[in-house]
Amino acid sequence: MKVRVDPEVCQGHTLCAMNAPDLFALRDEDGHAYAVDEEVPAGKEDLARDAARTCPEQAIVLS
């Protein structure tokens, strides 16, 4: 599974990073999220899905 955060949609609510800190981090300059790695590690797929569901802007893209 792959994950990315659409930088044009993310508003920096930080919910993804709070729910899955191993998968998402926040940029220092604007507080917006980004995926630490495009490939979701084995066993962390549910965390990625949960983070995507909690994003109010639906900025997390899973594939």
CATH number for the domain spanning 21: value is 3.30.70.20
What mean pLDDT do residues 44-50 have?
97
Name 8's Cβ contacts closer than 8 Å, sequence gap at least 6: none
What pLDDT was estimated at residue 25? 98
Share of the chain above pLDDT 70, in %: 100
Number of domains in the chain: 1
- Domain limits at 32? 3-62
What pLDDT was estimated at residue 62? 98
What mean pLDDT do residues 56-62 have?
98
CA distances (Å), origin 53, targets 3, 17, 28, 42, 56: 13, 13, 24, 19, 8
| Residue 6 pLDDT grade (very low, low, confident, very high; cuts 50, 70, 90) | very high
Contact in structure between 1 and 50 (CB atoms under 8 Å): no
Angstrom distance (rounded) from CA 12 to CA 44: 22
